[in-house]
Amino acid sequence: MTIGDVAARAKVSKSAVSFVFNGRSGVGEAARDRILQAAEELGWRPDARARALSRSRAQAFGLVVRREAELLSTDPFFPQFVAGVESGLSEVKYALVLQVVDNEQTERDAYVRFAHEARVDGVFLTDLRIDDERPRELDELGLPCVMVGPTEAGSDASRLIGLDDAAGIRRAVRHLYALGHRRIAHVAGSDRYVHSEARRRAWLDEMDQLGLEPGPVVDADFTGASGARATHELLDLARPPSAIVYANDLMAIAGMSAANDRGVRVPHDLSVVGFDDIPLAPYVVPPLTTVRQDVFEWARVCAKTLVAIVEGTTPEVPALPPVDFIVRGSTGPAKQL
């Protein structure tokens, strides 16, 4: 079943068929109808491979995900991002090629293969790291990309689609302040990531703004185990915090569990704020107060921007929905001293 068959059945030339399927003018109304009908009857669609070859375009984008097993299956970001990207791509017929890798070498290989084999026309760069080498490497490979990270991530604004991580953390800190908390700790994510830093800095800034002593901060790595460990560390302090802002929900929930284990009651003795609003957040005990970003919409915007970059059109960058702060049961008034 080839374009030739369709052309024959519609009694036109191959190019006429090609023109119709590429939305170009130059085919009469009658011929166009016959062509569409013939294609319909034959169940024909342009072969993506042949198309890719002759247009030197794969009509696909790549996403390389480097993530440890635990975070992969907990992180709400990945599936939502993928779903959003698909949603933004479905109208324009690009496919999404996924690659999951587990270390730096295989990650680099993945990009190199994408580029050299010309499997994709561009990539999404997520989990931006401090001093990330990838933008430069991709430039060298000639592979267009959009970067996906907090707005602070860099100056390369034209291809950075930022979500305002900081705003959420700031609201969390102010919320706790309003509840009377003064010692507000932070459990940060891995310090290699730009978004970890953005969240940490937002916490620091806001504490500063409120005239609070920038309380204790503990480095962790987004896993449950690290969240529990960090929590114990904070509660072991001579002057433990009365509230903790975690860099993600998994650590926050593990932290609540750790607190519970040592008889510290949430929110009575300790208020807890997470980040992500995973679907489980309303269903843990107590329900988790947290920050929600609209990852899906964000990903849609990323997809559309990448299409624009690759096709050389001007990306219409719609405003991203603001972050939400969801107050649930894990935060409460600070205990009177």
Partner DNA sequence: CTGAAAGCGCTAACAC
Partner DNA sequence: GTGTTAGCGCTTTCAG
Residues near a second copy (CB under 8 A) are: 43-53, 56, 58, 60, 69-76, 78-80, 82-83, 86-87, 90, 95-101, 106, 113, 116-119, 223-224, 227-228, 250, 253-254, 256-257, 260, 278-280, 282-285, 287, 296
* Residue 12 near which of DNA, a second copy, none (CB within 5-8 Å, type-dependent): DNA
- Which of 56, 155, 314, 336 is in the footprint of DNA by CB under 7 A? 56
Considering the rule CB under 7 A, would residue 18 count as an interface residue with DNA?
Answer: yes
Q: What is the DSSP code string of 84-119?
A: HHHHHHHTTT-EEEEEEE-SHHHHHHHHHHHHHTT-
- Which of 8, 9, 21, 164 is in the footprint of DNA by CB under 7 A? 21
Where b means 16+ CB within 10 Å and e means fewer, 310-336 reads beeeebeeeebeebebbebbbbbebee
- Minimum CB separation from a second copy for residue 66, in Å? 11
* Residue 322 near which of DNA, a second copy, none (CB within 5-8 Å, type-dependent): none
Residue 305's identity, in one-letter code, is T
Ramachandran area for residue 130 (φ above 0: left; ψ -120 to 50: alpha; else beta): beta
* Residue 73 near which of a second copy, DNA, none (CB within 5-8 Å, type-dependent): a second copy
Considering the rule CB under 7 A, would residue 4 count as an interface residue with DNA?
Answer: yes
Closer CB to a second copy, 51 or 182, in the complex: 51
- Which of 25, 155, 314, 336 is in the footprint of DNA by CB under 7 A? 25
Residue 100's identity, in one-letter code, is V
Residue 260 burial (CB count, 10 A) = 13
DSSP SS3 for 171: helix
Q: How far apart are CA 60 and CA 49, in angstroms?
A: 11
Q: How far apart are CA 23 and CA 34, in angstroms?
A: 15
- Minimum CB separation from DNA for residue 309, in Å? 18
User: Where along the sequence are the contacts to DNA (CB under 7 A)?
Assistant: 2-4, 11-19, 21-22, 25-28, 30-31, 44, 46-47, 50-51, 53-56
